[in-house]
Amino acid sequence: MEVTQTIAFSSFLKSLRKRGTHPLIITDETIASIYFDFIKKTTLPYLIIPSGEGEKSRERKAAIEDYLLQRGYGRNTELIAFGGGVISDLVGFVAATYMRGVAFSIIPTTLTAFVDASVGGKNGINTSYGKNLIGTFYPPVDVCLEEKFLTTLPKQVREEQFSEIIKIALTSDRDLFFSMENPLFRARQLKMDLVQKDPKDLGQRAILNFGHTFAHAYEALLNYRVSHGKAVLIGLYFESLLSYHLKILPQKEWKMIQNVLKKYPQKIFPISFEGQALFKHMCRDKKNKDQAPCFILLKKIGEIYCEGEKILHEVSLESIIAVSKKMSKETV
């Protein structure tokens, strides 16, 4: 399905009215506290849910479904996800299953949602066994790419979420990594290109998981007390170092990556985690085969390592522990 992309919110609103759907904005308390007057001015009905990664749950999905059912929302419903990746993932999953599928659209308010979560139709919820283990592929009908909604992001959050742009640059675009020219739309286009080649995530699209095998395990290990952006930032460091440890990524390339990632002021080091516990969570990752953690590895900046057509590579517990120990000793 081709997804409409509108830039200005006014254009998005016109498109919404032309679709003739029964709309409902779903957002969280954090976004509502910033944009409540704006939401009211749209005159669209809205639902505000609590904020946080913990809301991507079976319980919250059921609560939203009950809300819709109690108020008579039918097949002509359009759910509008106004927020970041948590909101778009959750709302997309509700839309995919409510009444066997209703329309939904996304207004991203974070870098993560703008360049990543709103592209490709992946959605889902978390469980105690891991992140995004239950979900569907269900693309939005429209995405409103209004950059002004990103301006209220706190500086640290914005920098943490820039990890999604660094990820796509490291795996797919060397020039972007070094220049970061027009990064939002360039990163978004790179992801769209991969999604078009592999819409159901059966092959090449796995490239987009670079840094995330670590990140999802680390988030679960800390019971989601770390932001996704920061976890991915650390994950890019970990999986680049892993590529170097396995003698795939040359030292010169690793040093360039290391120097860039260490410039981030969030103090991603020192961090402490136990490699065996991390490995246990990695073994629950969706990309795995036969319970062995599989990784995208770097050959050089802008290019992943392949063995023929194989792009996912099993990594041993010993290597995970070795890299974990190196990471735990790092300081900025």
E strands within 154-269? Answer: none
Residues of the chain with pLDDT below 70 are 1-2, 265-272, 290-291, 330-332
Encoding tokens for residue 68?
């819709």
142 lies in the same domain as 165:
no
Q: What is residue 267's predicted lDDT score, i.e. its pLDDT?
A: 57
Domain span at residue 101?
4-150
203 lies in the same domain as 305:
yes
Question: Where does a domain end: 150, 177, 196?
Answer: 150
73 lies in the same domain as 91:
yes
72 lies in the same domain as 191:
no
Question: Where does a domain end: 124, 150, 176?
Answer: 150
Q: Cα dihedral angle (108, 16, 138, 188), rounded to 10 degrees?
A: -40
Q: Is-contact 256 273, C-beta < 8 A?
A: no
204 lies in the same domain as 89:
no
Burial of 189 (0-12, 13-18, 19+ CB in 10 A): middle
CATH number at residue 186: 1.20.1090.10
Question: Where does a domain end: 105, 131, 150?
Answer: 150
76 lies in the same domain as 109:
yes
11 lies in the same domain as 122:
yes
124 lies in the same domain as 191:
no
CA 37 from centre of chain = 28
Q: Please name the residue that has the structure tokens 């209004």.
A: 146
Beta strands 294-295 and 122-127: pairing type? Answer: unpaired
135 lies in the same domain as 170:
no
Q: What is residue 332's predicted lDDT score, i.e. its pLDDT?
A: 47
Neighbouring C-alpha atoms within 13 Å toward the C-beta of 275: 17
240 lies in the same domain as 109:
no
CA separation for the pair 258, 209 (Å, rounded): 19
Q: Give how many domains the chain has, as a whole number.
A: 2
Q: Is 319 helix (H, G, I), strand (E, B) or coil?
A: helix
171 lies in the same domain as 282:
yes
CATH number at residue 139: 3.40.50.1970
221 lies in the same domain as 323:
yes
